[in-house]
Every structure is written in C-alpha cells, then in structure tokens.
Amino acid sequence: MQDTKENILMVSLELFSQRGFSAVSIRDICKEVNIKESSIYYHFQNKRAILEELLQRFQSTANSMMNQLDSALNDMGCSPDTLSHDMIENCFFDRYLMDDFCNKVIRLLLIEQLDNKEAQEIYDLWLFAKPLAFQSKVFSMLMEIKMIKPADSGYMAEKYYAPIFLFAQRWLFCGPLTDARKRSFRAAIDRHLHKFFEEIMEEY
Amino acid sequence: MQDTKENILMVSLELFSQRGFSAVSIRDICKEVNIKESSIYYHFQNKRAILEELLQRFQSTANSMMNQLDSALNDMGCSPDTLSHDMIENCFFDRYLMDDFCNKVIRLLLIEQLDNKEAQEIYDLWLFAKPLAFQSKVFSMLMEIKMIKPADSGYMAEKYYAPIFLFAQRWLFCGPLTDARKRSFRAAIDRHLHKFFEEIMEEY
Amino acid sequence: MQDTKENILMVSLELFSQRGFSAVSIRDICKEVNIKESSIYYHFQNKRAILEELLQRFQSTANSMMNQLDSALNDMGCSPDTLSHDMIENCFFDRYLMDDFCNKVIRLLLIEQLDNKEAQEIYDLWLFAKPLAFQSKVFSMLMEIKMIKPADSGYMAEKYYAPIFLFAQRWLFCGPLTDARKRSFRAAIDRHLHKFFEEIMEEY
Amino acid sequence: MQDTKENILMVSLELFSQRGFSAVSIRDICKEVNIKESSIYYHFQNKRAILEELLQRFQSTANSMMNQLDSALNDMGCSPDTLSHDMIENCFFDRYLMDDFCNKVIRLLLIEQLDNKEAQEIYDLWLFAKPLAFQSKVFSMLMEIKMIKPADSGYMAEKYYAPIFLFAQRWLFCGPLTDARKRSFRAAIDRHLHKFFEEIMEEY
DNA sequence: GATGAATGAGTGTTCATTCAT
DNA sequence: TATGAATGAACACTCATTCAT
C-alpha cells in the first residue's frame, strides 16, 4: 500500500520542521520510517520531491481552510446571527496555526523562506497576505451590516492580526508544540480578542 | 592582524543568515574569505565557535542598545521634553532591526531557534521579552507623568509592538535587506505609530 | 508475444553500442522499452544474458553471411562469369559492416574486447581472422583460374582489407551511422577497390 | 609532493584503458593508489578532471612527437641522406603506438569516442587525420626529390598507413600490451614496409 | 507477462577536522 | 599565520536484483 509513502512524508515533515530541509538527511528519515535508504527512492524521485509534495499538500489544505472561512463569512453576511465570529476564528486557530500538519509546514517555511524563492512566496501568502486580506474583508462586512462603525478596514486588520501573529511566533512556532504552549497562546489570544472587540464595539 | 578573523566572522554571518548555520560549509566560508580551509582553524576552534562568537557579539550589541534606551528613558522621566520618543524608536529601528549586523543575526536566530536551546532563549529574549518589557516600562512612565491615561501597560506594549514585529518579519527578515524594503517597513511603521499615539492621546 | 523481449534486445543493443555494456543500466533500457525494471527479469536471467544473446545472434548472422560468401565464391570457381566480385563485396559491406544490427554489435565489441576475453575472441575472429582468411581464399582462387598472377595471397588480402578496415573504423564505427557517413565510406571504398584491382590486373 | 597526483593519473589511465572511463570507480583508483577515496578530491576536482588531464597530456605528447617528425622530415628535404625514414617510422611506432602512456590513452579514446564528442575529435585527429596528413607529406617530398615517381600522395598514404593501423588495432590495442604482441606487430609492420617500399621504388 | 515494493552494495562527492610544516 | 595533504564519516543517489502478487 501507500503506507510507506505516507510515513515518509510525515516523518520528513517532522524532521524538516525541526531542523530545516537541508539539515535533515535521507538517512535520518529512513531510520525513523524503518526502511533502507534506497527504498525511499521508490516513492520519491529525490529528497526535494518530498519537500515539494509537503508544500503542495499544505497549500491545498490552507486553501480549503480559507475557502471554508470565506463561505462562513458570506453566510454571516446574509444572516448575521447564524455563525458567530468565534467559529471563524477557531477555524483559523485550531485547524491552521495549531493544527499539527500546518504548524509544522509553517515552521519549515519559516526556515526555507530565507533561501528559497518558492517558499518565500508561500510563506508571505499564507502568513501575511491571505490572513490580512481575509480579516480586512471581515471588518468591511461588519461595517456594512453596521455592527462596527466605519473605518480603515486594512488598518483594523493589522491591529487585529499583528498580536495573533506575534503570539503565534512566540508560542506556536518555536520549541515543541505542547498543550501548555497551545494554552498560553489561546490565553493570550482570548485576552487580545476580548479587549479588541470591546474597543471597536464600545460606541455601539 | 585580526583582519582575517574579522573577515571570517562577517562572511560567516552573511552566509549563516541566508542559509542557516548547518547549511553553510567551512568551504563556503573560506572560498569567500579567500583562505584555505585549514587556515580557519587557526582562528576558531571549530565551526560552532564561529556561531558562538557571533551570538556573543550580538548579545553585547543588543545589550548596549537596550542600556542606551533605558538611560534615555530615565532622562525622559526627569525632564520630559529633552528627549522625544522619536529618538527612542529610532534607536530600536535603525540600530537594531535594520542594522546590518543585528538584522543578520536575527535572521540566523530565526532558523536556529527551532532546533537549538541556546538560540531559542536569545531569540525569545531579544525579540519578545526585552522589547515588550521596555515598551511596558515606557508606557508606565508616560502614565506616571500623566502624558497618557492609566491602563494596562503590558497590554499597551503588545498593541504597540505587535505590528512592529509583524512588519519586521514581513519586510526586514525575509529576502535581501534592500533599501526599498527598509522604506516599506518604515512607511508601515510610521503609519502605525501615528495612529497608535493619536488613539492613546486623543482624550488628553 | 515475444515482442517485449525483442524490444529489450534492440534497445539494449542501441544503448550498449553507444555507451558500452557496463555504462548502460537496466533502468535506461526499461525506460526506453516502457516497462518496469522488474519486468526485464521475466525475459532475461540478468543483464549479462542480454549481452550474451546479442553476441549469439551476431555470430549466427555473421556466420550465415560468411557461408553465403563462401558458396558464392565456390560458384564463382565453377562458372567465373555468373557472380561478379561486386556481389561478394556488397554482401560484406551492405549486410555486415553497414547493416544496422551488425554495425552496432561491432561497436559494442570494440569496447568490450578491451576487458572481456569472450568479446575479444569474437572481435578478432570477425574483424580480422575471418575477413582476411576469406579474402586470401578469394585471391588464391583468382590465381587458380588465372585471373591474376600468382603471388602471396595472404599479403594481398592484407593490402585489400586494411584500407577497408581503416575506412570502416573512421566512418562506420564512430558517431551516429548516418547516410552521409555511409556515403563517405562507400566513396573511399570504391576509390580503393578501383585502384586496387587496376593494379593487380594491369599486367593481364 | 605531487607524487600522489602522479600516481592517481597513472593508475587511472591503466584502469580507464582497460575498462573505459565510466566503468572505473573512484574506489578502484584509490584502492590501487593506496589512498582514501576522499583524498582524491584534494588533487582533482572530480572524476572527469582526471580524464581531462590525461587527454591534455596525451595531446601535448602527441603534438611534440609530431613536431619532431615534421622537423626530421624537413631536415630530410635538405639533406636526404642524414635521416633515414627508419628513424621517422620508429618515432611513430616506438614513441607513440607502442609507448606505454600513448598506447593506453589510445585504448581509452577507442572506447570514449563512441559517446563523447571531445574524445571523438581527438581520436579522429590522432589516429587518422594527422598520421595520414604526415605520410602524405612524406610521399610528396619523396616525389619532389625524385626518390619515387609522381603519384597521388594521399592515396599512397592510405596504402601505407592502412595496414599499420590494422596491425596496431589487432596487436597493440587489444588485450595486454606484452612484448610478444609488440614483436608480432613489429614483424607484420616490417614485412609490410619492406614490400611497400619495394613496390614504390622498383621502377627506379 | 508484468509490476509494486524493497534492498545491499556501490556511485561520485562533500563534510569538518587534523597535523606536520 | 597559513597551507598542503590527508582522512573517516556522511551525503544524495543509482545499481542490479528479488520476490510476492
């Protein structure tokens, strides 16, 4: 079956996310997967192909997450009460930043982006451009349905997202992703979101 | 002279910051410095020693920068009008985030922290703990001298620093550190600071 | 059917004749034949068996060519006018030196003979011993029927065959066997044969 | 010293001439030279660089041999009796075809020329073009000084050189270059040259 | 007939390091 | 201070081959 290929991918991701692509050897991967080094070349053309497949998968995962967020947002536009923004956020937090697979790929991108054009683009897209664009759209919509008062939605998105990004960097993308760290992150986020929405809604 | 040693350090830092410590070979460094590979061992015990010295230097540089900020802050406490907060900020931006040496070390730390306990601590200290603590102190002081109204200074520090960190990550710590990127960063920062101080001072 | 086996043989010969036996991998062959690498072992016990079968086939092809030449020679002995020596030569040129299959095997032998006892014997037999012996016999016969004056038939064979061999090495056994090269070879041969027979027959 | 480099070259040539470049491994070479595999890369950038240096050396050796032949030929033009053609031939035979170094390189070229453009050119130049051109010049000169009667010098060169080439291929460029084989070659050559000059000079 | 999956041995090459000079 | 020469260990990758299906 394709069990072995899957194992290779998961082990590779684990190691890549810890040490970076180039610091992980085929030997390291195979030792963990429990196959001989030559066997890996039955499943992948070369070492880089493993990385490529991981990035591919990440992008489709992230895309589907983003699509789901988008449609949830549209639903909210029609019937503001059916879907809380809590649900929206949880999607981004639980199934993206804190999701085992995505979290590891993001760590990997953090390293690779410094020297790899492709990684750089993916990194910028999925850690800056997409989240900021989405959040900007959220605030525009909230303004439209008059839940918050009109303002620069791009700037609001930055104010909203920057602390999330900072907390993520500090708690989620360094060291092992333990439950304790997840809780620290969650706590910081909750505090931030609470105050943030308090502020933007206080006048209404 | 110690010219060669200095060259080795600077070339190493350049390469480490681009590809990460383990992806740079002694060969790569020596080729750039124009010495034979065996010669490097006259100046450093081994490859790791180069990294160590770079981190050492970074820490003392960062420390002196922070001390200067601190004393500037204390001066401001005594005579609020002598030193503008502009000066404080420029110190952190120009001589730290955008300084050639510090910028490269931070990029290096970004990679190394994922797998290296020591790097992790330095990274957390100098990119999160110290900046947030300092900023928190700034706001406490501003409250004391009644320039802003009393609030949670820690939370204010986060609101203040998070966008700076995000912009830095996006513009200063990926790809080559060009003047164009520096300007993009500066512009985003200025916009942020302007609005930020507008908001916290508006009531006064 | 045996279509696949035939394909394997022909592809192998093509590649062997270009790069030599040991420089061609099972992978190379299978890629060209469009089968998986394991499949080749259904048709041949191992890589060497492919070589062996090619040499086998070459020897029987060459043998039948030589037999045909021999019987043509005998016919000529009985009735000197029925078969021109042109026909004899064409047999050796068109169906041997310039024949696609034989030409490739000879190239292959050229390489293999340096390190392989068996190849060495086949090479010596079919590029030196047999052609020289046959030609010697031709001249003996021509002397017997008094078409040329008596002389050392072995030496004549050398004088006759050496330029053919040289031209073959220069035009037929290096680079791709194009029509242009074949024509260059043919032209050199015609010139040689014309002058050669002029000389040995001039006295008559 | 450069002893090791020289050893590497000589051992490589020996092995390349037996099995061909691609069939010889770095391991094979190092085992014979008695150094570790990594050490070879101190002396040569890679495996191909060894081949390249051998071809380089061969070409300068062959060139100097050819220059010597040329000047000997010119001397003969001035004073026909000072230098016999024996001396000329011995130069080509003893210091080229039967010389240990050149003989091995020619064997190597025999293999490499099938797949390697550069080798092909060297092979054609030094086994066909140069010898034929030189011999053609010899006969032209002999005609000029009226030692032989006027004729097509190019055709004479072919008649002269073709048997030499054939004997060389048969005795000098296959199997080990033993003294016995050298004698077989020498004998065949002497017989050929004797008869050849008898024929071209008989009328005078 | 053919293939998916695996493997031990071997490929050329790079690595950080040593040490005598 | 610097280097020429070497090395053991590791590197990504290819090889011919096996075997169950």
Considering only residues 47-106 of chain A, list those whose CB is below 7 Å from strand F.
47-48
Q: Has residue A15 got a pLDDT over 80?
A: yes
Q: Has residue B203 got a pLDDT over 60?
A: no
C48: the nucleotide nearest its CA (via C1') is: F16
Distance CA A51, CA A3 (A): 18
Q: Is the CB of D41 under 7 A from strand E?
A: yes
pLDDT at C17: 94
**Which residues of chain D fall below pLDDT 70?**
1, 77-85, 202-204
Interface test with B, best of A16, A25, A103, A111 (most B CBs within 10 A): A111
| Mean pLDDT, all residues of chain A | 90
Taking chain C, what is the end-to-end CA distance rounded to the nearest angstrom? 59
Burial B8-17 (b: 16+ CB within 10 A, else e): bbbbbbebbb
**Average pLDDT of the residues in C133-142:** 91
pLDDT at A198: 84
> In this predicted model, which residue has the larger pLDDT, A88 or A19?
A19
**Average pLDDT of the residues in B167-192:** 91
Burial B100-139 (b: 16+ CB within 10 A, else e): ebbbbbbbbbbbbbbbbeebbebbbebbbebbbebbbbbb
**pLDDT digit string (tens) for A143-172?**
888 888 888 999 999 999 999 999 999 999
Per the structure, the residue whose CA is closest to nucleotide E11 at C1' is D25
pLDDT at A83: 52
Q: Has residue C202 got a pLDDT over 70?
A: no
Q: Has residue B82 got a pLDDT over 60?
A: no
Q: Has residue C2 got a pLDDT over 80?
A: no
Q: Does A77 contact chain B (CB < 8 Å)? A: no
pLDDT band, residue C145 (cuts 50/70/90): confident
User: If DSSP codes are grouped into helix, strand and coil, which group holds residue B142?
Assistant: helix
Question: In which residue are the tokens 């092809």 written?
Answer: C61
**Whole-number Cα distances in Å, C164 to A132, C127, C170:** 79, 11, 10
Q: Using CA of residue B20, residue B21, residue B23, residue B28, what is the dihedral sign?
A: positive
Distance CA A84, CA B203 (A): 32
pLDDT at D77: 66
pLDDT at A187: 93
Non-local CB neighbours of B139 within 8 Å, separated by 6+ positions: B148, B151, B153, B156, B157, B160
Instruction: Give the minimum alpha-carbon distance from B109 to chain A in angstroms, rounded to a whole number.
Output: 10
pLDDT at D87: 73
Alpha helices in chain C (DSSP H): 3-19, 26-33, 40-43, 47-78, 85-92, 100-112, 117-124, 130-144, 153-167, 179-201
Distance CA A44, CA A42 (A): 6
Q: Has residue B201 got a pLDDT over 90?
A: no
Q: Has residue C201 got a pLDDT over 80?
A: no
> In this predicted model, which residue has the larger pLDDT, B75 or C11?
C11
pLDDT at D84: 60
Q: Is the CB of D155 under 7 A from strand F?
A: no
pLDDT band, residue C49 (cuts 50/70/90): very high
| Mean pLDDT, all residues of chain B | 90
pLDDT at D88: 75
D34: the nucleotide nearest its CA (via C1') is: F6
Distance CA C58, CA C105 (A): 7
**Whole-number Cα distances in Å, B161 to B59, B68, B150, D99:** 20, 19, 18, 80
Q: Is the CB of D128 under 7 A from strand F?
A: no
Distance CA B18, CA B110 (A): 11
Instruction: Note whether C45 and C89 are within 8 A (CB).
Output: no
Out of A30-34, B20-24, C88-92, C116-120, which region has the weakest mean confidence (pLDDT)? C88-92
Distance CA B87, CA B72 (A): 9
Q: What is the 3-state secondary structure (H, E, C) of chain A?
A: CCHHHHHHHHHHHHHHHHHCHHHCCHHHHHHHHCCCHHHHHHHCCCHHHHHHHHHHHHHHHHHHHHHHHHHHHHHHHHCCCCCCHHHHHHHHHHHHHCCHHHHHHHHHHHHHCCCCHHHHHHHHHHHHHHHHHHHHHHHHHHHHCCCCCCCCHHHHHHHHHHHHHHHHHHHHCCCCCCHHHHHHHHHHHHHHHHHHHHHHHCCC
Considering only residues 154-193 of chain C, list those whose CB is below 7 Å from strand F.
none
In chain D, which among 79-98 make CB contacts under 8 A with chain C?
Answer: none
pLDDT band, residue A201 (cuts 50/70/90): confident
**pLDDT digit string (tens) for C57-99?**
999 999 999 998 888 888 776 665 555 667 777 889 999 999 9
**pLDDT digit string (tens) for A176-194?**
899 999 999 999 999 999 8
Of residues C20, C107, C120, nearest to D20 (C-beta): C20
Closest chain A CA to residue B109: A111
Q: Answer whether B174 sits within 8 Å of A120, measured CB to CB.
A: yes
Q: Does B162 contact chain A (CB < 8 Å)? A: yes
Round to a whole number and report the distance in Å from the CA of A37 to the C1' of E6: 10
**pLDDT digit string (tens) for D57-93?**
999 999 999 998 888 888 776 665 555 667 777 889 9
The percentage of residues in chain A with a pLDDT greater than 70, rounded to a whole number, is 93
Quickly count: other Cβ atoms within 10 Å of residue C178's Cβ: 10
Q: How many residues does chain C have?
A: 204
**Whole-number Cα distances in Å, D55 to A12, D59, D122:** 45, 6, 8
Distance CA C134, CA C155 (A): 13
Q: Is the CB of C24 under 7 A from strand F?
A: yes
Instruction: Give the minimum alpha-carbon distance from D21 to chain C in angstroms, rounded to a whole number.
Output: 9
Of residues D23, D169, D170, nearest to C22 (C-beta): D23
Per the structure, the residue whose CA is closest to nucleotide F2 at C1' is B39
pLDDT at D76: 72
**Average pLDDT of the residues in C107-124:** 91
Round to a whole number and report the distance in Å from the CA of D101 to the C1' of F7: 31
**Average pLDDT of the residues in A78-93:** 70
pLDDT band, residue A60 (cuts 50/70/90): very high
Closest chain C CA to residue D126: C170
Non-local CB neighbours of A43 within 8 Å, separated by 6+ positions: A4, A5, A8
Distance CA D29, CA D18 (A): 12
Q: Has residue A174 got a pLDDT over 90?
A: no
Chain C positions touching D155 (Cβ under 8 A) are: 191, 195
Q: Does B25 contact chain A (CB < 8 Å)? A: no
Burial D155-171 (b: 16+ CB within 10 A, else e): ebbbbbbbbbbbbbbbb
